[in-house]
Structure 1
Amino acid sequence: MTTTCIPIKNVGSDADSHRFPLDQWYVAGFSSELADKPIARTFLNRKVVLFRTGAGQVAALEDRCCHRSLPLSCGTVEGAGVRCGYHGLLYAPNGQCIEIPGQERIPSKARVKAYPVVEKNQIIWIWMARDEDAEPTRPAPDYPFHDDPRYKFGSGNYHYRSPWQLIHDNLLDLSHLGYVHLQTIGGDARLHMNAPMKVSSEGDRVKVVRLMPDSSPPPTYRAAWPFGEKCERWQEIEFDLTHLRIWTGAVEPGTDAIDDPDRGGFHMRGFHGITPETEETCHYFWSMSSTKHPDMPDNIDAVIQQTAFTFDEDRTIIEAQYRNMLAFGDKANWIDIHVDAGANRARRIVGELLRKQAAAEAADS
């Protein structure tokens, strides 16, 4: 059975991918997404088809048959690879054509580009290199909470009609929770805005920590954990170029300290893979891992449902923000306030990586 062939607009050549930081592991999806059909996605202006072979191997190829350029995502997955839906050419995970129906000889040039991919902690990572045939220079990131028996997780993905860094801005500044997410993870807006914020960085990473003692538990927390009138709440955000890890939660007053690395209580560990599609669109791959209270073992169902609802709210805000940026053009000058410290530091990191990349490309030319 063939898959639905979805055309993707605003996609340029490989040269266009150099507008984003390269030589990086980007999130391509979750293990659970790859079943018996190929998936078409565009990463950094490059059209890619993802699939899993009958032997269980995950592969990522240029989404183009070398014969007549039909997207391979319009074909079918078989035991040895993906078969083109036009004339039946079969491609192995390394991009080599291994069968041409009705023809014994297979030209050596009958191949397409293959991207390095790694399946790790139920996340699929794709290596986007500056030099076309370059191999990864480091292992894919770890995210152990998907495999940690203390947690149960759910996941999903969104397509955003906005640039990827607007989502970085949103996730690095959780002061918006009290205004955007009143019905779920919000809480008192003034408390969020006034909570002391500690911002640090090391290399290409940024960390933001906010501690909020004497908080009123928001609706999601009450649905998942038997809190009383007050709780001791924390937010820890770790920015990496291609993904963010956000650890939030709360303990009951008089129990564990909210800065104790081994604290108990209610935990929400969010994974946020932000992968550019084009300059104006991006993919958002999220998961939420949560602890379970012994008296409320099904809490994760409420957490996942409400987490997805909060991301709906965020997408509405961010896409409206970007539409307004386009409408106002140069008049849309921003001012900074105190909550922007983490996001601004992340933007400087991305900018510096792009400057270094442009200098390296100029030296090579």
Structure 2
Amino acid sequence: MPPFGSLSIYSYSRLSAAGLKCGFSTDAVLARAGVEFDMQRRVGYDLTLANIVDLYTSAMAASTRAYFPLAMAENFSFDFLPEVEAFLSTSPTLESAAKIIDWLPALLVPEFQFSVQPKGSQIAFQVNIVGNNSSRPALNGIVDTVVGSAVLFLRKLLPSNANFQAHFAHSAGASNSEYSSVLGQVPVFESDFSGLLIPYAELGRPIARDSARVNALTALAIEDTIRTMSGGKSVAELVLKHLIRQVDASVVDVARALDVPARTLQRRLKAENTSFQAQQNKALSNLATQYLANPSLDVEAIALKLGFSDRHSFSRAFKRWTGQTPSNWRQKKSTI
């Protein structure tokens, strides 16, 4: 995995545009936040949530002319990955375009969680930021940018009479007139969620016609890009590879080796329907079968090599992993 803490030139240019509107020096803000830009990076950025909080804290403090989160919403674009906007603009309906929420954590930050909840005759597309951080103004600002960007994307996709409402669980970070000027509406503040509230009737509203092939191709391109961003391997594969080299490594050890925060690593594994413990068990099972294939190693020695206190605890674990005892596995292997 590439190191965190860098922006692509595309993201730098968007931040600079927001900086011009807000009246601050982009380079000074980046320096205070400890973030650099990488001319070789194509895909947006590689930042931890802590990086983004630091960046927002620095930019919001330096802003003198406008509210930075809304300026970022105005300037946010998937121009580093045009397939995203192509996918949205070629989706037959808003409901089919909503597939993007499955991709956003990988394209943005894993701590950004998106969900869909029914609310009477309407549906709420909700955003939540997971992670403990004391900088609440910055976290609220990040949510303002995410929801504000979604409002502006919808205004591009849907007719001007489309009915939807922005909601924020926090209080306003700027005047109502500033929100209205950027978003074309005054959001509902101190709501029970942050996101968009959309009538069910709007979900079937047509966006594009006769674009099914392009829509499918752009969806495949986005998924390919997400795989490329993780080095072509799933996070689970990367964790397993490390654990096979050092099976007793902790989640903190592996996270450090992969250059991600431990909480982020655990959430990425959860998104792949696994866990660190499951990958550690898989590594232990793989190593156990390798050792058992060597007839010169007795079960007691294998148990100790794998960190078990005795052969009985190892045997119980091995049976849990494979459905067989080590002796039965070795016996069957020898007859093949």
Q: TM-score range by the shorter chain?
A: under 0.3
Q: TM-score, structure 1 length as denominator?
A: 0.24
Q: TM-score, structure 2 length as denominator?
A: 0.25
